[in-house]
């Protein structure tokens, strides 16, 4: 939505001569005094940013139209309304800023029918009366140019945008706001969210999760195990770093099993890459791998992350179709628009992700076990599912701070290739998996509006921040690349001892700001909109915080190994693919549940089978979203921002639009109202009260019927 840059001033010097039109480098016109940029125009520039061209214009498409100045720099294109004065609380922010890497389509318009699509390196064939900038984040900026002798400036700024796009490279465009540029003292600043770049960050998070059976490993401190892994991660206490190094060598890209999240009830959620079956591990290595996967549990569930979920190519194709459908000039007829939306498959993929995440949440919360997410590369769908599972199972992850920490740990520090997946390298592996995740989170926010501390506006800000060139958070593929760019890497080796070691000093400490430094790009009023006014803190009870709790989980069968696939658990004779004989006992088929048709039926099977284990309660704080039919919605505020009638709100100012808005507000009110009878409401239920299976099924069915209603 809004972003910008603080630091150096724009330096715009009027030219004394009028060169020939057509050369951006030489086509600057003398500036009429009435058209000279104000001093505030020069106050929002990133370090190293330079103006290439500017022209007076009028923002069109919205009411009222705004007069201002269209500016092209070597980083971005921005429109500054006339009379704009920099707010001291807003060093960097503008809803009219488009990073060059975020421009998906540029069109020049002359008259009623003359339109030219301008690709990087194109030559403009006429003086434009208007240009249309389509953002890859679904935003649209329409700027009309004024007549009266200023036509050459319109030509100049348009060609400047064309050439700047041709020369832009996301991998090289990063300018990085350092602490000194931000006017803050480097010695006293603490990141708003732990960046998970030091062993101390990981140890603090481990203690918060009460993961007593785990420790912080420093085996990858020099990135010599895997450059895509963070420097530090969690491994079982009894596993030595020498064993970790050998075991990780038998997984794809060296991404062996690590802890993602420890459930307060005792279960552990792990993630890892695919087995490197061509390797030839010895018995000690196999034993180490099995111990890391078991994580001290007798019940182990291996989840094939890629099963039933879209491939990277599927995600990319669906997103391209979605963008094409949401363009203002889409050729799809209004009566066929919803069918075309279903045809993109985007909503289907959201549905599949939420269902699988719900199933895994049931597996994690129903029994004390080790649940392992396994994806060949361990850098895309593993992060998506791990994050969703924690959002569904852990109320603290639904707070604003908790969610930011979750994204930093499971996406940024875990090595999700943001630059490649968002098309920054020009490779064929583009696929906006992270944007798919944000849409899944938005769906949860719609279904459970009182359970999340952050709002839709925060998700939009995060959605729009993935392509801004002012931080390294989303502009690199691995922690190693970020450390190298920021000068964080050096030759020292830090041995972490809890309670004694301190963060590395000097230039080994990351002085670059992250995307979570919202106050540098957003005003205080905008940041306030990140808060969800309907959030109920009671949905995140203190009793949920990691501490000794009554046991509401039941142990799994002794020495059992399961494969979770297509909604059902099937027994495995062995955990690792390198053994011919079973390494762990296979569970008897009489314990095998039937395939589940939904997360509710899986929950019924898990919490009610077998009967001699006794009744198990519905864990406090667990959310099981609906994902059938109309329960999955279209994120209009994000995807239809290029439509004038929705840029100012969710619906057009028509009777039908107001009816839709009223229905939406009534549904939110219904969801915020407790769905329990007055008799039950008068009795305060203990969150740890043991429920019987009949009560659990009744709660689940009531929730499902309420969502469908």
Which of the four pLDDT bands, split at 50, 70 and 90, describes residue 182? very low
In whole angstroms, give the CA distance from residue 99 to residue 468. Answer: 6
Which of the four pLDDT bands, split at 50, 70 and 90, describes residue 49? confident
Least confident window among 114-118, 211-215, 489-493: 489-493
Choose between 178 and 401: higher pLDDT. Answer: 401
Q: Which pLDDT score is estimated for 423?
A: 81
In whole angstroms, give the CA distance from residue 201 to residue 193. Answer: 10
Mean pLDDT to the nearest integer, 538-556: 50
Choose between 33 and 391: higher pLDDT. Answer: 391
> What is the average pLDDT score of the chain?
76
Choose between 202 and 703: higher pLDDT. Answer: 202
Nearest CA to 436 out of 300, 317, 539 is that of 317
In whole angstroms, give the CA distance from residue 431 to residue 443. Answer: 20
345-377 pLDDT, tens digit per residue, is 999 999 999 999 999 999 999 889 999 999 999
Which of the four pLDDT bands, split at 50, 70 and 90, describes residue 658? low
Length of the chain: 709
Q: Which pLDDT score is estimated for 201?
A: 96
Beta bridge partners of 56: 69
In whole angstroms, give the CA distance from residue 143 to residue 60. Answer: 6
- Contact criterion met (CB below 8 Å) for 322 and 348: no
- Contact criterion met (CB below 8 Å) for 426 and 484: no
Mean pLDDT to the nearest integer, 316-336: 89
Q: Which pLDDT score is estimated for 507?
A: 38
Choose between 620 and 183: higher pLDDT. Answer: 620
H/E segment holding residue 99: strand 97-99
> What is the rounded radius of gyration, in angstroms, for the C-alpha atoms of the chain?
27
**Burial class for 278, CB neighbours closer than 10 Å (0-12, 13-18, 19+):** exposed
Query: Tokens in use for 687?
Result: 């969150």
Query: Tokens in use for 392?
Result: 């569904």
DSSP 612: G
3-state secondary structure 30-55: CCCHHHCCCHHHHHCCCCCCCEEEEE
- Contact criterion met (CB below 8 Å) for 78 and 39: no
Choose between 440 and 705: higher pLDDT. Answer: 440
Q: Which pLDDT score is estimated for 692?
A: 47
Highest mean pLDDT among 146-160, 386-400, 559-573, 589-603: 386-400
User: Residue 43: is its pLDDT beyond 70?
Assistant: no
Q: Which pLDDT score is estimated for 376?
A: 94
Q: Which pLDDT score is estimated for 94?
A: 61
Q: Which pLDDT score is estimated for 267?
A: 94
Beta bridge partners of 54: 71
Taken in order of first residue, the domains within the chain and their CATH numbers are: 39-168 (2.30.29.30), 199-487+511-539 (no CATH)
Q: What is the DSSP string of 282-325?
A: -HHHHHHHHHHHHTT-SEEEEEETTTTS--HHHHHHHHHHHHHH
Choose between 681 and 488: higher pLDDT. Answer: 488
446-455 pLDDT, tens digit per residue, is 999 999 999 9
Which of the four pLDDT bands, split at 50, 70 and 90, describes residue 602? low
């Amino acid at each position: 939505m809004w972003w910008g840059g603080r630091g150096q001033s724009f330096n715009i010097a009027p030219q004394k001569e009028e060169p020939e039109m057509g050369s951006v480098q030489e086509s600057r016109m003398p500036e009429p005094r009435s058209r000279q940029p104000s001093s505030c125009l020069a106050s929002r520039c990133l370090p190293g940013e330079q103006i290439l061209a500017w022209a007076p214009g009028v923002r069109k498409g919205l009411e009222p139209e705004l007069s201002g100045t269209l500016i092209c720099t070597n980083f971005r294109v921005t429109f500054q309304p006339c009379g704009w004065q920099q707010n001291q609380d807003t060093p960097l922010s503008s809803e009219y800023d488009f990073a060059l890497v975020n421009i998906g389509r540029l069109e020049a318009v002359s008259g009623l029918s003359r339109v030219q699509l301008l690709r990087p390196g194109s030559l403009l064939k006429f003086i434009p009366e208007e240009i249309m900038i389509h953002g890859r984040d679904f935003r649209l900026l329409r700027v009309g140019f004024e007549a009266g002798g200023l036509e050459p400036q319109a030509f100049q700024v348009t060609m400047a945008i064309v050439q700047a796009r041709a020369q832009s490279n996301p991998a090289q465009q990063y300018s990085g706001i350092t602490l000194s540029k931000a006017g803050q003292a480097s010695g006293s600043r603490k990141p708003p969210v732990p960046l998970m770049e030091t062993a101390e960050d990981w140890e603090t998070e481990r203690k918060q999760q009460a993961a007593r059976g785990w420790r912080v490993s420093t085996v990858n401190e020099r990135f010599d195990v895997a450059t895509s892994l963070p420097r530090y991660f969690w491994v079982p206490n009894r596993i030595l770093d020498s064993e970790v190094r050998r075991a990780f060598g038998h997984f794809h890209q060296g991404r062996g099993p690590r802890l993602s999240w420890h459930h307060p009830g005792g279960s552990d959620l792990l993630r890892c890459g695919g087995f490197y079956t061509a390797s030839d591990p010895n018995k000690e290595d196999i034993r180490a791998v099995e111990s890391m996967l078991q994580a001290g549990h007798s019940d182990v569930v291996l989840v094939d992350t890629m099963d039933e979920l879209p491939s990277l190519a599927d995600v990319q194709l669906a997103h391209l179709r979605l963008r094409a459908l949401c363009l203002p000039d889409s050729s799809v007829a209004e009566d066929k628009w919803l069918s075309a939306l279903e045809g993109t498959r985007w909503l289907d993929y959201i549905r599949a992700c939420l269902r699988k995440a719900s199933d895994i949440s049931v597996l994690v919360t129903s029994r004390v076990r080790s649940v392992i997410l396994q994806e060949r590369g361990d850098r895309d769908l593993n992060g998506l599912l791990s994050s969703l599972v924690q959002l569904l199972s852990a109320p603290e992850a639904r707070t604003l701070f908790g969610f930011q920490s979750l994204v930093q740990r499971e996406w940024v520090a875990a090595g999700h290739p943001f630059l490649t997946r968002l098309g920054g390298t020009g490779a064929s592996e583009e696929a906006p998996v992270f944007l798919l995740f944000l849409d899944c989170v938005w769906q949860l926010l719609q279904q459970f509006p009182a359970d999340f501390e952050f709002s839709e506006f925060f998700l939009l800000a995060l959605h729009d921040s993935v392509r801004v060139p002012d931080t390294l958070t989303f502009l690199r593929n691995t922690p190693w690349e970020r450390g190298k760019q920021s000068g964080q890497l050096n030759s020292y080796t830090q041995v972490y001892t809890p309670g004694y070691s301190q963060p590395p000093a000097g230039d080994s400490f990351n002085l670059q700001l992250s995307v979570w430094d919202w106050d540098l790009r957003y005003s205080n009023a905008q940041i306030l909109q990140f808060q969800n006014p309907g959030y109920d803190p009671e949905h995140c009870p203190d009793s949920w915080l990691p501490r000794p709790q009554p046991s509401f989980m039941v142990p799994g069968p002794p020495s059992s190994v399961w494969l979770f696939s297509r909604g059902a658990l099937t027994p495995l004779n062995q955990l690792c693919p390198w053994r011919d004989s079973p390494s762990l006992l296979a569970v008897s088929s009489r314990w095998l549940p039937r395939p589940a048709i939904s997360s509710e039926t899986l929950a019924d099977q898990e919490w009610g089978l077998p009967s001699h284990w006794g009744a198990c309660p519905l864990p406090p704080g667990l959310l099981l979203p609906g994902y059938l039919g109309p329960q999955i919605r279209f994120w209009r505020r994000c995807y239809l921002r290029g439509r004038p009638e929705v840029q100012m709100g969710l619906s057009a100012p028509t009777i039908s639009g107001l009816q839709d808005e009223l229905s939406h507000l009534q549904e939110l009110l219904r969801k915020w109202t407790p769905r329990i009878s007055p008799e039950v409401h008068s009795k305060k239920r203990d969150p740890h009260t043991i429920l019987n299976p009949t009560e659990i099924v009744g709660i689940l069915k009531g929730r499902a019927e309420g969502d469908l209603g």
